[in-house]
Amino acid sequence: MREPLHGTPPLRPSLHRSGDDLADRRAEYAEAYARAGDHAAAADLMAQAMERAPDWLLGRVRWGEFLADAGEADAAGAVFRQALRQDEADPYGARLKLARLGAEPVPDAPSPSFVAGLFDQYADGFEDALVRRLDYRVPDLLMALLQEAAPEARFAAALDLGCGTGLMGERLKPICHRLDGIDLSAGMLDKARRKRLYDTLHEGDILAAPRLPAGAYDLVTAADVLTYLGDLRPVFAHAASLQGPGSWLAFSTELASGTDGFVLRPSLRYAHAPTYLDAALAGAGYAIVSQTAGTLRRDRGEAIAGTLTIARLT
């Protein structure tokens, strides 16, 4: 049986309404059937909802997910393609879901609007869910590895890519004279801003991270961020453009086995092989200083294996 597709929030009564009361009720019943494991019934109810609300984009994507979970891959693919035609910005990750079905090649990255919307949705309860319920450990693991590699280091300027609510920033602040952050999610940035950790916060794609007017960042971090990108070569090249020789790069990735590249997991996050990381870093001018495997967090009861890497620009 195919693993369920993840990545789209369930339709909740107070959010994501279609504008048609009967369609909304049928969608709520569909969610209940899906939670009970009856995905065929859920798909049938969502089909009825979509008859009443044919322009409801999120409803269409959920319909496709129910069809996929019911084993109706061809029908699911057709629904996801309809969603892409409806909105090419792809705010609900229909292209990723097509790739998970094997109906399209795995994209190098998801649409920015999908990532931003996903994290805006979870901003309010993000830290509680991640740290307390999912045993998220990346900031602590990454900081321990960085301090082991550079025990006396103090950084003039650090950039926290995909800074989110500032969990990595809390660890970086004591050892950084200047700390900047960038994230796609306005909701996450609002949480980070309240902590008063960062000198500047930018809303946007990490490849749009601004250069410091007075010089280079001597530290760039990406904690649990690169899992939302497939091809990491542009990220490493951009980081290198922000830094000078001897500067540090610290990041985490989910671990892919049985490949020399990257894969798209059922969670709609990417996992990368260490050999891929080695080659991509070398291509950008970085040398690996330290690299270790570890459990990054738990997801649906499963331990998520990852790679923690410290590299230095040569």
Top-confidence residue, 136 or 51: 51
Decide: 59 and 24 in contact? Cβ < 8 Å. no
Domain at 126-313, CATH from 3.90.79.10, 3.40.50.300, 3.40.50.150, 3.40.50.1820: 3.40.50.150
If you average pLDDT over residues 285-311, what whole number do you get?
Answer: 93
Residue from 181, 204, 205 nearest 194 by CA: 181
Task: Grade residue 70 by pLDDT with cuts at 50, 70 and 90.
Answer: very high
The gap between the terminal CA atoms of the chain, to the nearest Å, is 47
Return the percentage of the chain with pLDDT > 70, whole number: 90
- Ranges of each domain in the chain: 21-105, 126-313
Longest dimension (CA), the chain: 64
pLDDT digits (tens, 9 = 90+) for 143-159: 999 999 998 889 999 99
Instruction: Give mean pLDDT, residues 63-78.
Output: 97
| Inter-helix orientation angle 21-35/57-69, to 10° | 30
Return phi, psi of residue 242, to 5°: -90, -5
Q: 56 burial class (0-12, 13-18, 19+ CB within 10 angstroms)?
A: buried
Instruction: Specify the amino acid at residue 272.
Output: H
Confidence of residue 126 (pLDDT cuts 50, 70, 90): low
The pLDDT assigned to 302 comes to: 86
Predicted pLDDT of residue 17: 78
- The closest of 116, 110, 73, 117 to 95, measured between CA atoms, is 110
What CATH number matches the domain at 21-105, 1.10.8.290, 1.10.10.60, 3.90.1580.10, 1.25.40.10?
A: 1.25.40.10
Q: Could you count the other beta carbons within 10 Å of the beta carbon of residue 299?
A: 17
The pLDDT value given to residue 11: 47
Average pLDDT, the chain: 90
pLDDT tens-digit series, residues 3-12:
444 555 554 4
Q: Is 133 exposed, middle or buried (0-12, 13-18, 19+ CB in 10 A)?
A: exposed
- pLDDT of the residue at 293: 94
The partner residues of 203 in beta bridges, in order of sequence, read 183
Whether residue 134 has pLDDT greater than 50: yes
* 118 — pLDDT class (breaks 50, 70, 90): confident
| Residue 34 scores a pLDDT above 70 | yes
Among 160-169, 212-221, 299-308, the range with the most confident prediction by mean pLDDT is: 160-169
Please state, in angstroms and as integers, the Cα–Cα distance from residue 102 to each residue in 83, 140, 232, following that order. 17, 36, 22
Per-residue pLDDT at 127 exceeds 80? no
Encode pLDDT of 183-239 as tens digits. Answer: 999 999 999 999 999 999 999 998 887 777 656 899 999 999 999 999 999 999 999
Q: Which residue has the higher pLDDT, 67 or 297?
A: 67
Query: Which tens digit of pLDDT belongs to each residue from 79-105?
Result: 999 999 999 999 999 999 999 999 999
Confidence band, pLDDT 50/70/90 cuts, at residue 13:
very low
- The yes-or-no verdict on residue 2 having pLDDT over 50 is no
From CA 178, how far away is CA 212, in angstroms rounded? 10
